[in-house]
Amino acid sequence: MVIILNNEVLKLITVVGEKRNADGYLIGDKTEETEVFCSVKSVGRTEFYDALRAGRKATVIFVINPDDYEMSKRTITVNGVEKKVRATKTEYEGEEYSIMRSYTVNLSRMELTCEVVE
């Protein structure tokens, strides 16, 4: 039996809207952050090369509790319609990552495959 300790801090970043300057120009995303505990895992060879073939570069896998991922869920309004969104980015040790894939392993473990945002 393998015991995985979630002893690292990960920020889940959910985009909830657009950020505009005083003149009304789009200057970025309006985001909300949720801090959760995680463990860090290397990307396997197959997953790395599959992502590369798709034009992406999987760099790290964060293992979190699925309930923590649910905490990143927000309700936003787009063109008058309410929509539920979850985290699409993460931040770990000052580096920002894009979530490429989420995979629920079991009731207490979820893997987020991520790539560095450049």
On whether the CB atoms of residues 97 and 115 are closer than 8 A, the answer is yes
**68-103 pLDDT tens trace:** 999 999 988 878 889 899 999 999 999 999 999 999
Above 90 in pLDDT, residue 110?
Answer: yes
- For the chain, counts of helices (H) and of strands (E): 2, 8
Mean pLDDT of the chain: 89
Residue-range definition of the domain harbouring residue 57: 8-116
Residue 32 domain-assigned (yes or no): yes
pTM score, two decimals? Answer: 0.84
Residue 52 domain-assigned (yes or no): yes
**3-42 pLDDT tens trace:** 666 789 999 999 888 888 888 787 778 899 999 999 999 9
How many Cβ atoms from other residues are within 10 Å of residue 49's Cβ? 12
Number of domains in the chain: 1
Residue 3 domain-assigned (yes or no): no
Residue 1 domain-assigned (yes or no): no
Residue 60 sits in a domain whose CATH number is: 2.40.10
Residue 24 domain-assigned (yes or no): yes
Residue 45 structure tokens? 């060879």
Residue 2 domain-assigned (yes or no): no
